[in-house]
Amino acid sequence: MRTLLIGLVGILAVGIVACGPTTSKHMEGSRHELFDSVRSISAASSNVVVVEVQSQREEEGPQIPYTISDAKVMTQFAPAGLGSAIDLKTPREIGGEVAVRQMGSKEVSTPAPILEIGRQYLLFLTPSMLDGEAAKQFYVTGGSAGIYSVEGSHFVHGPFTEGDNLPGALTTADLGG
Amino acid sequence: MHASNRRSRAFGAAVAAIIMAAVVLTPQAANAYSLTGCHWPASGGKVTWENDAPAGSYYNSGTAAGYSWANATDVNDMSPTHGLMVGFTDNKGANGYDGWTDWNCLGSTTTFANVTLNPYYTNSFSTVKRQAIWTHELGHGLGLNHSGSSAAIMYHCPACVYNTYGYYYPRPDDVAGMNTLY
């Protein structure tokens, strides 16, 4: 009887712990600028590409982790004004692959979604301007702003909540393609 | 006489309809703030934080930003001396963000928060423009999410708010949001 009671108390305790509040991780930020047109986000980007994400790895930081996605480049575009608002010492050429760096991870709720392996995206990219290995990596321009998912013959944006006012859908014609 | 009464009643009804329409259509000052769902278990609104930013403009603008919340809202203290909310600078390159805040939330209680400014962008900012970013990020750390008002310091782009209006401190919408939490 005593053993049964101890067992019941133990099960109850485990149940209470399991049903208690859990810790969640979050991140929000101050956008450096907001975009309201393809031209404005193109001006802040060095490259506009369609990619397919092949693999990912996480890099621990002192505060939040970063996710680096290795992606196969399928198409490159040169929309009007590309790179005109950024100061690059040398033009950034992208070959058959590109490493895309994003703040956060799948475990941290972030304003920009982390790219998913196996999916195709239209990305507006900016050189990371970091040193070392990360110097070869690119950030998505404006966090969530530069992410369009490929859906058939269209590129679809969001819905995101970072304050940009970009077109909800694009075609290759909108990108000078 | 009968027709005159009818005209009088119709006139009265029309005036009432116009007044009602005016009341309904007059823009009301709506709150645009939003909340993260997490905040500090502050007794009497007392919150402190630790400012680990470099001495000088970064430290001073962060400290001033903390006190601006304490002065404008029901948050009390905000001394930059110690606490589980910590402010840093960390150059993360062209990631598109002047600053960011990450926090852990247990249920609806914040258990720690890191408030970070990105010198890649903010090194070219004036001290008060840095204060705008600190104010915004500390607002996240205290429990506010982004505001839909482009004149609120909690708007998505506080540097844009500073550039457009010169604001670098909590605005009425930010104050209204914060006072629901503390």
List pLDDT tens digits, range A109-124. Answer: 898 999 999 999 999 9
Of B90, B101, B105, the CB nearest to A23: B105
Find out whether A119 and A74 touch, Cβ atoms under 8 Å.
no
pLDDT at B25 over 80: no
> Is B133 part of the contact surface with chain A (CB cutoff 8 Å)?
yes
Residue B169: band (very low, low, confident or very high) from pLDDT cuts 50, 70, 90: very high
Rounded to 5 degrees, φ, ψ at A24 are -115, 150
**Helix (H) or strand (E) run with residue B110 in it:** strand B109-117
pLDDT of residue B6: 53
Name the helix (H) or strand (E) containing A39: helix A38-43
Distance CA A108, CA B107 (A): 15
Burial of A49 (C-beta count, 10 Å sphere; 0-12/13-18/19+): buried
B45-to-A125, B57, B111, B144 alpha-carbon distances in Å: 43, 27, 16, 15
Cα distance between residue A144 and residue B2, in whole Å: 69
Residue range B53-73: mean pLDDT, rounded? 98
| pLDDT in the model for residue B14 | 53
Range from A62-66, A141-145, B101-105, B124-128 carrying the lowest mean pLDDT? A62-66
B118 vs chain A: nearest CA distance in angstroms? 10
Task: Say whether pLDDT at A140 is over 60.
Answer: yes
pTM of the model: 0.86
Please name the member of A32, A61, A62 whose beta carbon is closest to the beta carbon of B159.
A32
Q: Does residue B20 have a pLDDT over 70?
A: no
Distance CA(B106)–CA(B113), nearest Å, equals 12
The residue type at A26: H
Residue A167 has a pLDDT of 97
Share of chain B above pLDDT 70, in %: 84
Model confidence pLDDT, tens digit, residues B135-147: 999 999 999 999 9
Say what percent of chain A tops pLDDT 70. Answer: 87
Short-list B57, B30, B36, B48, CA closest to B136: B36
pLDDT in tens, A7-48: 554 554 544 445 567 899 999 999 999 999 999 999 999 999
Which residues in chain A are contacts of B146 at CB distance < 8 A? Answer: 28, 161-163
Question: What would the mean pLDDT of B165-174 be, rounded to a whole number?
Answer: 98
User: Counting one residue from A and one from B, how many pairs have CB atoms under 8 Å apart?
Assistant: 114
Write down the ipTM of this complex. Answer: 0.88
Contact B101 A140 (CB under 8 A): no
> How confident is the model at residue A173, as a pLDDT?
95
How far does the CA of residue A126 sit from the closest CA of chain B (Å)? 7
Instruction: Answer whether residue B82 shows pLDDT above 60.
Output: yes
- Degrees to nearest 5, angle at CA A116 with A110 and A122: 90
pLDDT band, very low/low/confident/very high, at A63 (cuts 50, 70, 90): confident
pLDDT at A166: 97
Look at A14 and A93; give whichever has higher pLDDT: A93
pLDDT band for position A92 (50/70/90)?
confident
> Shortest CB distance from A32 goes to which of B96, B101, B111?
B96
B96 at the A interface (CB within 8 A)? yes
Element (H, E) at A10: helix A2-19
